[in-house]
Structure 1
Amino acid sequence: MTNDTVLWAVDRRGVATVTLNRPQVNNAYNGDLIDGLHAAMDGLGGTAGLRIVVLRGNGRHFQAGADLAWISGVATQSPAENERVSRRTAEAIRRLDTCPVPTLALIQGGCFGGGTGIAAACDVVVASQDAIFSISETRWGLMAGIILPQLCQAMGLRQVRRYALTGERFGADEARRLGLVHEVCPTGGLDAAGDKIIEAVLMNAPVATTATKLRSLAAARAFVDDGDLRDLIDEHARTRQQEEAREGLASFKEKRKPAWYPG
């Protein structure tokens, strides 16, 4: 099934594949892609016998973060619209994080910004050797608040304090060392590596698997409650409309250093 920006299908085993489908912009997310993720999760929620959800990205890159041209347009709209966009984004991440069946992200190429949040929200992450990661929001005067709970769970606070504050890029092996990635496979080997994970999940009892996942999240205090989610959304929306965001996005468009860079 399709809504153009996100494709999804379920095979006879109950294995769902959800594919981000904006390869012309490296699968950068915009309102349509966020809506597509919600539509996919709505559809999968009514699927009998669902066992695992596999997240993929079409083209050379998994997911290159936000579509900055779209972000620039949203920032000029009303505070209420900015809050709506941030809420829609945050709810997509929370739904993925708490999906009752196991989730598997297969990552190639660029995985930046929101892409790292998608990875952190999945139960298992396999990256090919060519994958590159970055928590890049601060470079553009934005902030990664919506995905920070999942990133802190995946990588630990100490590592997030480095990579979310510097925006540095890091490769697949470093992502594995940090805990964001579970396994690194050769470039071109994602299908084979993913199949092994899928087969392992299918061997396990589905009800027990769901109970184990949800109890693990509860034991780790990893659920984002409604109050915390509201605070994340408010801050995320406000930051997008501040002067730093305007300057950061302008510097990207104009291919120059931002005004806050010394000298």
Structure 2
Amino acid sequence: MEFKYLQLERNDQVLTIWLNRPDVHNAFNPDVIQELHSCFNALNQSDEIRVVILAGRGKSFSAGADLNWMKAQGEAELTDNEADALKLAQMLDALATLKQPAIARVHGAALGGGMGLASACDICIASTEAQFATSEVRLGLAPSTISPYVIRAIGARQASRYFLTAERISAKHAHDIGLVHEVTEPEHLDQEIQEIVEALLLGGANAQTASKQLIAMVSNQPVNNALLDKTARHIAHLRQSSEAKDGLNAFLNKQRPTWVKTTSEE
């Protein structure tokens, strides 16, 4: 895949997607959104890529939407404006529902839509210099399309503050409120991510996809007979899969499952 605003780096089973508009702090425009969506759709068809890392070139992860684009959309017809916004919403959904685990590598600013990207990833690792914000209200807007993922990450109570104040959130505080999983010094950011990648590669690919689906299925649902039935069916189908049979047999026989390459550490 070749793109104008993205750079792809593949290292065996791991693909890093670099947002590559450093001169505008990797701000979104329609082309960036379309390229990201196309990339995510292609990854969902790939069995060769096991882990996806989303990163930004230059000083920032992503400063969110290109303001000139947002201004132009505000002057467009409502139907065109809605269709344009839906493309961003669909791109974020494609990221959130990737079959592969997705890691956000956040340094510098992750503002507005950039915070949305970080929230839509399964795992977020941040430099101590990273800063987050849902900055939309200061532009007379709301964090509409990113809200499902940010609220999922930090909860409605924290969103009640930061959606309304648009305050900058330090990496440490982002960790405290659940947005960031690990905070590390800038020079150790890639090492920290590599450790997460190695842990991910020890799991079965189909099992990880099923686990992502499980979280979406169970999260915020009442524990009732319907949910018990869903979770029982979920594990029953997995137990019959060839991947599960391979993994269980390997564990019982003190061997590696076939999906683990010999370079991975146990």
Distance 2:220 2:145 in 1: 17
Distance 2:9 2:90 in 1: 22
- Coordinate RMSD, CA, aligned: 1.3
* In the alignment, structure 1 residue 24 sits paired with structure 2 residue 23: yes
* 1:10, distance to aligned residue in structure 2 (A): 3.2
1:140-155 matches, cutoff 5 A: 140-155=139-154
Counterpart position of 1:247: none
Distance 1:44 1:148 in 2: 24
User: Are the counterparts in 2 of residues 128 and 186 from structure 1 also a CA contact under 8 Å?
Assistant: yes
List per-residue Cα deviations over 1:214-249 (Å, max 9, x = no partner).
111110059xxxxxxxxxxxxxxxxxxxxxxxxxxx
Distance 2:181 2:25 in 1: 23
3-state DSSP class of the match of 1:99?
A: coil
* 1:92, distance to aligned residue in structure 2 (A): 0.5
Distance 2:126 2:53 in 1: 13
3-state DSSP class of the match of 1:16?
A: strand
3-state DSSP class of the match of 1:146?
A: coil
* In the alignment, structure 1 residue 182 sits paired with structure 2 residue 190: no
- Does 188-197 or 1-10 show the bigger shift? 1-10
Counterpart position of 1:89: 88
User: Are the counterparts in 1 of residues 17 and 55 from structure 2 also a CA contact under 8 Å?
Assistant: yes
Counterpart position of 1:230: none
Counterpart position of 1:233: none
Distance 1:47 1:8 in 2: 15
3-state DSSP class of the match of 2:187?
A: coil
Distance 1:11 1:106 in 2: 16
Counterpart position of 1:251: none
* In the alignment, structure 1 residue 170 sits paired with structure 2 residue 162: no
Counterpart position of 1:126: 125
Distance 2:8 2:41 in 1: 11
* 1:188, distance to aligned residue in structure 2 (A): 2.6
Runs of 4+ in 1 over 3 A off after TM superposition: none
User: Are the counterparts in 2 of residues 8 and 40 from structure 1 also a CA contact under 8 Å?
Assistant: no
User: Are the counterparts in 2 of residues 6 and 40 from structure 1 also a CA contact under 8 Å?
Assistant: no
Kindly name which structure, 1 or 2, has the bigger radius of gyration based on alpha carbons.
Answer: 2
Counterpart position of 2:33: 34
Q: Match for 1:42: what amino acid?
A: N
Counterpart position of 1:48: 47
* In the alignment, structure 1 residue 98 sits paired with structure 2 residue 109: no
For normalisation by structure 1, the TM-score amounts to 0.81
List per-residue Cα deviations over 1:42-63 (Å, max 9, x = no partner).
3222322221110000111000
Is there any run of 5+ residues in structure 2 with no aligned partner, and where?
222-266
In structure 2, do the counterparts of structure 1 residues 10 and 187 end up closer, same or farther at CA, with 3 Å as the change threshold? closer
User: Are the counterparts in 2 of residues 110 and 133 from structure 1 also a CA contact under 8 Å?
Assistant: yes
Identity, % of aligned pairs?
Answer: 38
Distance 2:2 2:176 in 1: 35
Counterpart position of 1:64: 63
Q: Match for 2:5: what amino acid?
A: T
Distance 2:107 2:99 in 1: 25
Counterpart position of 1:5: 5
Q: Match for 1:7: what amino acid?
A: Q
For normalisation by structure 2, the TM-score amounts to 0.80
Distance 2:2 2:138 in 1: 33
